[in-house]
Amino acid sequence: MRRLSSVVQLFLILGGWLALCAPVQAQTQNPPAPPAPEPPAANFRTELNLVSLPTTGSLRRHHGYFRLTHRFARDLTLGDFADLAEDAFAFDNGAVLGLEYRFAIADNVQVGVHRSTLNKALQLFGRWDAWKQGAGRPADVSAFASFEALDNLQDGHQPGAGLVVSRTWGASDDGQRGPALALYASPTFVYGTFDAERIASGMGGHVHTDHLVVKPLSVDAHDGEEPDEHAGHKSTFFIGLGGRVRVRPTVYVAGEFSPRLHGHDPGDSMWGASLEKVTRGHTLALTLTNSFATTPGQIARGGTPGAIYLGFNIIRKF
């Protein structure tokens, strides 16, 4: 009995000692560090394009971006209201589609590919964000390089390069909303635009669909007038100008204009406008333009004189 009592006392002493030491040990041990939240990329809520022009919008490292561009081929300025209604305001006509995917190698480096059904144009491109607005820097500055050609890179090669400079106001600190106002300027040089225009004109039509009501994409000279002095230039230098305004927490209005400053400049300078609805990771934009252009080479070759095309862009970030 004495031995049993001694054993019981020993267990009670050990149990009390462990009970007292456990809280002390728990307090002295460092708790596991919580996983670090993924830092928001600068201007993450800023889209990577306006209507067709590039912006300085960012992607987080190893994140992707998908863009679908859709331009109905029916020119809204042709015919009267009854004609437009009969065609469901262009919805019954063919369309020019573009598919784009880009991937962020780093927070400031993107690479991508864009494929348009307009003359089967294929574009490969890359972009480097040199610096971001803030810390004494008044603007975002990005540089990009592009290589595109018609007929799946077989004809009409058009290498190009340019800069995008932007200034924003009223962006939210958490990155959940884009800036209240963003302005962009994008000087761009594209080589080979004259040859690409000549090849595109000889490909049997720019849009391979039936029952279209569409004007020619571009002209080098007007009837009875002298040919344009730049018609023989092989290259084009243009500057894309545009902006985006937030009118509601998730609704934006954007516009752009791309005058050609030197070189081959058929047709009219491209312009576009859009009304955008932004959700978490998605953007739907209803667009009006005078061109089917979605690549630098297509923008350099201009828009259809006097035309207005209805379309939309669908964007997904992931």
How does pLDDT run along the chain (318 residues), one tens digit per residue? 454 455 445 445 545 554 555 544 444 455 555 554 444 444 445 689 999 999 999 999 999 999 999 999 999 999 888 888 888 888 888 899 999 999 999 999 999 999 999 999 999 999 999 999 988 899 999 999 999 999 999 999 999 999 999 999 987 665 567 789 999 999 999 999 999 999 998 875 444 343 344 444 444 444 445 555 665 789 999 999 999 999 999 999 999 999 999 999 999 999 999 999 998 778 999 999 999 999 999 999 999 999 999 999 999 988
Task: Report the DSSP beta bridge partners of residue 141.
Answer: 131, 165
Residue 242 backbone phi and psi in degrees, to 5:
-170, 175
Burial of 137 (0-12, 13-18, 19+ CB in 10 A): exposed
Residue 228: its pLDDT value, please?
Answer: 55
Helix (H, G, I), strand (E, B) or coil at 281: coil
45-317: CATH topology is Porin (2.40.160)
Residue 15: its pLDDT value, please?
Answer: 54
CA distance linking residue 158 with residue 172, whole number of Å:
39
CA distance linking residue 299 with residue 276, whole number of Å:
21
Residue 288: its pLDDT value, please?
Answer: 98
Run of H or E including 285: strand 282-289
Run of H or E including 26: helix 2-28
Taken in order 62, 287, 230, 215, is the CA torsion positive or negative? Answer: positive
Residue 231: its pLDDT value, please?
Answer: 59
Residue 43: its pLDDT value, please?
Answer: 42
Residue 304: its pLDDT value, please?
Answer: 95
CA distance linking residue 260 with residue 241, whole number of Å:
11
* Residue type for position 3: R
Residue 36: its pLDDT value, please?
Answer: 47
> What residues does each domain of the chain span?
45-317
Residue 93: its pLDDT value, please?
Answer: 84
Residue 298: its pLDDT value, please?
Answer: 97
